[in-house]
A = this chain, B = another copy of it.
């Protein structure tokens, strides 16, 4: 188990909390321009965070525009802009295996890796929002198994392309005119069920070999995919017990495939809602919840657990039997299971669950020490290798993490004093790919 936590910070909309836009200072459309993103990136880098993580959705429903939306901008484009304004921090872009071509995606992420000198990560998602499919043809969203089957083959292709150049290929001899030794650049000749891709990639490996692969599989097929392909697993875990079991299971799956389980990092999402005192933090939370209203949050919960919103009564228990009986569920198993786990274990009503469950993730409303305690406890229990911090309000919630939480973790020996290298892979302590 790790003594020092890996910490990444997620940017979605104007913050993880749906009330962020009303609560924060600044223009309600700040997330649609560069200054906001530059400020977040510089803050996170000043705090030594391992990476900035850009969430994404391809949801096309108009309802989402009723609030600041994650995925308004293409994450790879935003992060490429940030590459020029930062030096060390990792840049992780979410992108879907269901609605991209692997050749294009492999090139895009490798390009981000090249332009950032080896700081890119790709968060491979299968897209579980039904509304996304309507942007890409007549067919409905493929079911869970089909999405994961495609994702597995997609990752095979992308990793094949990223491995299609050996470093020996780069000759560049001006005297003789020999530029590349093409015997060290190999077509991949992939002919699979979903894709036919000849390869090779258009560029050689970056300083970190290839982009770091993030994945968020929680179902059986999702965990298998993660164990086979991921460097980092991002997960929704609302209790220590479930998180310990999840991480142990993932590590066992990786080991069974012959991988060193220490090379598969598990980062649960964590929503810190910070205050100088517990009362201050609670006050911030109440103000945010008041700014949000309960309607949109209830809609999101209904999507997460896979039942119509009309079946969720605010002051009744979560309809767990009904949720578990939904065999046609197409959403994220991770979010669903985390919500059910929390509601059952604590006996929460829907209203209480909405307050406790930070958009699906573990939520700590409290002082910086309280957040540092959680990080420490989860690391020591083997529940996590660190956390993906889902910042409630940006940039000020991130500034609070950097100014108040990071120094405390450093004092406790639980966070690195500085970046250890120049690439994301180095920051994470992961070896170069073979």
* Chain A residues at the B interface, C-beta cutoff of 8 Å: 21-22, 27-29, 32-34, 37-38, 58, 60, 62-63, 65-69, 71-74, 76-78, 80-85, 99-101, 103-104, 107-108, 110-112, 114-117, 134-138, 169-170, 172, 174, 177, 179-180, 182, 185, 187, 195-200, 202-204, 291, 293
Q: In the bound complex, do residue A84 and residue B38 qualify as a contact, i.e. CB atoms below 8 Å apart?
A: yes
Q: Can you list 13 A-B pairs, Cβ within 8 angstroms, ordered by A? A: A28-B174, A34-B114, A34-B116, A60-B103, A60-B199, A73-B107, A76-B77, A77-B80, A82-B84, A99-B104, A101-B135, A134-B198, A135-B197
In the complex formed, the residue of B with least CB distance to A41 is: B84
Tell whether A179 pairs with B32 under 8 Å between CB atoms, given A101-B136, A115-B81: no
Instruction: Give the docked Cα–Cα distance between A104 and B65 (Å).
Output: 18
Tell whether A137 pairs with B196 under 8 Å between CB atoms, given A77-B80, A84-B84: yes
Tell whether A179 pairs with B28 under 8 Å between CB atoms, given A172-B21, A196-B138: yes
Contacts of A202 in B (CB 8 A): 60, 69, 71-73
Q: In the bound complex, do residue B134 and residue A62 qualify as a contact, i.e. CB atoms below 8 Å apart?
A: no
Contacts of A99 in B (CB 8 A): 101, 103-104
Distance in Å: Cβ of A115 to nearest Cβ of chain B: 4
Contacts of A196 in B (CB 8 A): 134, 136-138
Q: In the bound complex, do residue B78 and residue A174 qualify as a contact, i.e. CB atoms below 8 Å apart?
A: no
Tell whether A177 pairs with B78 under 8 Å between CB atoms, given A65-B182, A117-B33: no
Q: In the bound complex, do residue B179 and residue A21 qualify as a contact, i.e. CB atoms below 8 Å apart?
A: yes
Contacts of A100 in B (CB 8 A): 101, 104
Instruction: Give the docked Cα–Cα distance between A79 and B211 (Å).
Output: 19
Contacts of A293 in B (CB 8 A): 177
Tell whether A174 pairs with B22 under 8 Å between CB atoms, given A81-B80, A199-B135: yes
Instruction: Give the docked Cα–Cα distance between A135 and B202 (Å).
Output: 11
Contacts of A169 in B (CB 8 A): 65
Q: In the bound complex, do residue B78 and residue A115 qualify as a contact, i.e. CB atoms below 8 Å apart?
A: yes
Distance in Å: Cβ of A178 to nearest Cβ of chain B: 9
Q: In the bound complex, do residue B84 and residue A200 qualify as a contact, i.e. CB atoms below 8 Å apart?
A: no
Instruction: Give the docked Cα–Cα distance between A298 and B200 (Å).
Output: 24
In the complex formed, the residue of B with least CB distance to A86 is: B84
Q: In the bound complex, do residue A137 and residue B195 qualify as a contact, i.e. CB atoms below 8 Å apart?
A: yes
Tell whether A111 pairs with B78 under 8 Å between CB atoms, given A72-B202, A103-B136, A135-B198: yes
Instruction: Give the docked Cα–Cα distance between A363 and B29 (Å).
Output: 47
Q: In the bound complex, do residue B111 and residue A179 qualify as a contact, i.e. CB atoms below 8 Å apart?
A: no
Instruction: Give the docked Cα–Cα distance between A81 and B116 (Å).
Output: 9
In the complex formed, the residue of B with least CB distance to A19 is: B177
Given A22-B177, A84-B84, 12 other A-B contacts at CB below 8 A? A29-B172, A32-B203, A34-B83, A62-B200, A63-B182, A65-B182, A66-B179, A72-B203, A74-B107, A76-B76, A78-B80, A103-B135
Q: In the bound complex, do residue A185 and residue B65 qualify as a contact, i.e. CB atoms below 8 Å apart?
A: yes
Instruction: Give the docked Cα–Cα distance between A69 and B84 (Å).
Output: 23
- In this complex, the member of A81, A135, A196 whose beta carbon has the largest number of chain B beta carbons within 10 angstroms is A135
Contacts of A33 in B (CB 8 A): 114-115, 117
Distance in Å: Cβ of A209 to nearest Cβ of chain B: 14
Distance in Å: Cβ of A90 to nearest Cβ of chain B: 16
Contacts of A27 in B (CB 8 A): 172
In the complex formed, the residue of B with least CB distance to A96 is: B104
Contacts of A199 in B (CB 8 A): 60, 135
Instruction: Give the docked Cα–Cα distance between A107 and B75 (Å).
Output: 10
Instruction: Give the docked Cα–Cα distance between A21 and B103 (Å).
Output: 27
Contacts of A78 in B (CB 8 A): 80, 111, 115
Contacts of A134 in B (CB 8 A): 196-198
What are the 3 closest A-B residue pairs judged by CB atoms, nearest first? A28-B172, A80-B80, A134-B198
Contacts of A110 in B (CB 8 A): 73
Contacts of A182 in B (CB 8 A): 62-63, 65-66
Q: In the bound complex, do residue A77 and residue B172 qualify as a contact, i.e. CB atoms below 8 Å apart?
A: no
Instruction: Give the docked Cα–Cα distance between A232 and B27 (Å).
Output: 34
